[in-house]
Amino acid sequence: RGYLGMSGIGDCRRKNYLRWTRAFPEVFTAKTLKNFADGHRTEDLIIERLRMAPNMTIVDREEGKQIEVSDFDGHFLGHLDGEILGLIQAPSTWHVLEIKCVNERSFKKIQKYKETLGEKNALKEWNMTYYVQHQLYMHYRKRKRGYLVVATPGGRDWDAVRTDYDRAAA
């Protein structure tokens, strides 16, 4: 990438700087590349399934491309999975939509946080990188809510949490 990605901004600052300046080429193992591919297929599957729900509107493309947000003349970029309207919890509120495909252990962990802390606090406790990414997407899209779907590989099990926009975090 020739830009600093919003999807990793919650990571270590040094790691982000080295990634952004391309100090070291990022090399992915075959297993990691397979995980990426599975994650993309799972995102498409989840969106397809969400569209089956009555009164649900999902926008996952603008001008045929993934929704992009940017700042600093394109040096800071993010790509949303979509935006969603029609959730039972807030039917008239647009939400930033993100979908994460994770292993079983991580999936159970967010479910535990959702149960113990409530859905609106679960994401921040579960994964700070995803939380910051979500906050930035809400900020740049001027949305007050985010909806994160967390799925196991292949999308067999999934759960979701909503998150409120926090300007200070963004």
- Range of lowest pLDDT (15-19, 108-112, 164-168): 15-19
| Burial class of residue 16, CB neighbours in 10 A (0-12, 13-18, 19+) | middle
The pLDDT value given to residue 142: 96
The pLDDT value given to residue 5: 67
How do residues 105-124 score in pLDDT, each as one tens digit?
999 999 999 999 999 999 99
d(CA 5, CA 10): 10
Note the pTM of the prediction, 2 decimals: 0.87
Q: Residue range 126-149: average pLDDT?
A: 95
Cα 63–Cα 83–Cα 46 angle in degrees, nearest 5: 100
Q: Which of 116, 110, 53 is nearest to 86 (CA)?
A: 53
Check whether 16 has a pLDDT greater than 70. Answer: no
